[in-house]
Structure 1
Amino acid sequence: MPNIIDERDGVAAQVQESLPGPGLRSQSVMFTFLGDHVYGHPLCVFSGSFIEVFARVGVSEEATRSTLSRMVARGLLRRQRHGRRVYFGLTLRTVEILKDGRRRIWHTGVVNDVPGDRWTLIGFSLPESWQRQRHELRSRLIWAGFGPLQNGLWISPAEVDVEAVVRDLDLGPDANVKVFSAEPREPTDMERVIRDAYDLDGLGGRYRDFLDRWDRADPMPEAPDHLARSLVMLTEWLRIIRTDPRLPVRYLPRGWPAGRAQRVCHTLHERFRDEARAIAARLMDTVPDTAGPAGQDGDSRHTLA
């Protein structure tokens, strides 16, 4: 299961930057850049190229170098020397993260209009002394689309491989984890269940903020070019949809903004794409990845972080 440290629970120390997007982190923008311009190509990118690209969205050279170093330390990038220069390539862990982002944007989408209900329930009881495991488990459940139904009982609107979610947590039998597939029955009020388990106001607000910012004739006019606009827009979008559990649309409030926001995102990506890729190609000094991770499928049409 992908482990997005700073996206899920904020535990990773980050260099804070005054990026154009609200609350964006430099590591999040890095994932977007890698997904849209590096993933699918067996290349390593020169550190100076990252500095030039990130300067376009307000990230300083110092912060860019710090982000690269932190990502190497966390196994998210690896260094490759070529002469006196240092280049950076993807790791298997990062490839999985980028694959997950592409799936969420271009394949599953944000609108769940599948007929019928098939939910996953997980119940667990962890010893009081297991604070770290409890925090990590809850973070992973949220990442996998679960919401808390009541104390120790969480629910997801999809068939979830919970074994993959908890596999490396070393919970053991004392965790008392139980998993079920379920369908709602009368008199269950699923709209009430969803309101109780998920922060619909917060999620809907994030989609509406995205629309306010990007659904206009000239979005982000202060940006120097479409590469900067694309990086900020896609980073904002990934941050939203990674918190969206894809609840069945029939249970959501009327006028739910996710579908409209998705159309805006896709339209802008097409609008920005050619210029963004041309600029990135001009700025990127690359060398062949001599020991790159397996699993890059080479489909670079839609490869977002």
Structure 2
Amino acid sequence: MSAVLDDMDSRPGSTTSLLRTIIGLYLRDAGGWMAAKDIVALMEALGTSGTVTRTALGRLRKKDVVVQEVRDGIPGFMLTDGAGAMLSRGDRRIFNPRSMAPSDPWCLISFSIPETEREKRHQLRRRFHWIGCGTVAAGLWICPDSLRVEVEEILEDLQLRQMATIFVTETPLVGGSLKEAVSSWWDLDAVAELHKDFIRELDAAGRAARSGHVEPSAEAFAVYVQCIDRWRVIPYLDPGLPLAFLPDDWPGVRGVELFTRIVEDYSKPSRQFVRATLELAAEVAASP
């Protein structure tokens, strides 16, 4: 499963989604393996019971995100090789929001897929949408040229590269204004709502961070995990188009600023809380 498919696979805020976010953020930092009881303890900091967490772990095992491994008699979980690579790709997208300049090139993808391959055609459109492509016509999609590598990967993965032609172009020449054309190629209202929802839910945390130093705590950990969990789908669906081509009241700028501020203020204390939690668990386990 590709990084984008996994990121879209569970609803942000759900137990499985939050657990996946914790694993993505901290399991690698813990050396690639974490005891099941420690994962449960971290999820409890988010208000999730051990029973519910174990059920969610079972779901992630079925999706080949984690595998169970016992170390020194302690059951735990480690990432699969595929999941490790997937999370690394996801990191690059999530923590580096895109921003296209008006003079940057565009990528156009034209394809014609026979009816015998209609399921692949459906998957192609679905995955193009999920990486932030817009639809010019039924068989013609558009995106910033910075996404061309991902477009190529999708075509190769679906074995459709021979049925598609990619054009790299300067600013498209349209009948009306490019701003009007962009609003018809992308569902900007849906992307704007994602930013607005993120701002509504995390704005208070952003203001609190500005008012003083954030200490390592379960609260800081919860804020940071919820921030990443809520944000991680936005950099996929938002292509990062130039402001000149977007609505005047575009909330994306504020969304990116808020995300950046929370990452700067909460990532370190959250990581310190996790490490302290794991160290305490190790000390308890080693005590007679």
Q: Which TM-score tier does this pair reach, normalised by the shorter chain?
A: 0.7 to 0.9
Aligned equivalent of 2:135: 148
- Mapped to 1, the partners of 2:218 and 2:104 lie a distance apart of 46
- Kept in 1, the 8 Å contact 2:174–2:181? The answer is no
2:106 equivalent among 119, 122, 137: 119
2:195 equivalent among 207, 216, 220: 207
CA drift at 1:40? 4.8
Flag structure 1 segments of 5+ consecutive residues without an equivalent.
17-22, 288-305
- Mapped to 1, the partners of 2:49 and 2:262 lie a distance apart of 26
- Mapped to 2, the partners of 1:106 and 1:7 lie a distance apart of 14
Aligned equivalent of 1:54: 43
- Kept in 1, the 8 Å contact 2:17–2:229? The answer is yes
3-state SS in 2 of match to 1:156: strand
3-state SS in 1 of match to 2:264: helix
- Mapped to 2, the partners of 1:189 and 1:42 lie a distance apart of 52
- After the TM superposition, list the runs of 4 or more consecutive aligned residues in structure 1 that deviate by more than 4 angstroms: none
Aligned equivalent of 2:34: 45
Structure-2 change in CA distance of 1:276 and 1:157 (3 Å): same
Report the more deviating stretch, 84-93 or 192-201: 84-93
Residue identity in the other structure for 1:226: A
Aligned equivalent of 1:32: 21
- Mapped to 2, the partners of 1:172 and 1:207 lie a distance apart of 33
Aligned equivalent of 1:139: 126
2:242 equivalent among 248, 251, 273: 248
Aligned equivalent of 1:89: 78
Residue identity in the other structure for 2:164: V
Aligned equivalent of 2:264: 270
Q: TM-score, normalised by structure 1?
A: 0.77
- Kept in 2, the 8 Å contact 1:157–1:248? The answer is no
- Coordinate RMSD, CA, aligned: 2.8
Report the more deviating stretch, 127-136 or 240-249: 127-136
- Mapped to 2, the partners of 1:163 and 1:195 lie a distance apart of 25
Aligned equivalent of 2:222: 228
Aligned equivalent of 1:77: 66
3-state SS in 2 of match to 1:75: coil
Residue identity in the other structure for 2:129: I
Residue identity in the other structure for 2:3: N
- Mapped to 1, the partners of 2:113 and 2:166 lie a distance apart of 15
Residue identity in the other structure for 1:152: G
- Mapped to 2, the partners of 1:258 and 1:121 lie a distance apart of 24
3-state SS in 2 of match to 1:130: helix
- Mapped to 2, the partners of 1:258 and 1:144 lie a distance apart of 16
**For each residue in 1:167-186, what CA deviation from the matched residue of structure 2 results, as whole angstroms up to 9, or x when unmatched?**
1213475xx32221122136
Structure-2 change in CA distance of 1:186 and 1:143 (3 Å): closer
- Mapped to 1, the partners of 2:126 and 2:174 lie a distance apart of 31
- Mapped to 1, the partners of 2:59 and 2:21 lie a distance apart of 16
- Mapped to 2, the partners of 1:177 and 1:110 lie a distance apart of 25
CA drift at 1:97? 2.7
CA drift at 1:30? 2.7
Residue identity in the other structure for 2:221: L
- Kept in 1, the 8 Å contact 2:224–2:266? The answer is yes
More helix by share: 2
- Mapped to 2, the partners of 1:43 and 1:149 lie a distance apart of 43
Structure-2 change in CA distance of 1:158 and 1:31 (3 Å): farther
3-state SS in 1 of match to 2:257: helix
- Mapped to 2, the partners of 1:193 and 1:284 lie a distance apart of 52
Flag structure 2 segments of 5+ consecutive residues without an equivalent.
210-216, 283-288
Q: TM-score, normalised by structure 2?
A: 0.81
Aligned equivalent of 1:177: 164
**For each residue in 1:174-205, what CA deviation from the matched residue of structure 2 results, as whole angstroms up to 9, or x when unmatched?**
xx322211221364632122111111111112
- Kept in 1, the 8 Å contact 2:107–2:169? The answer is yes
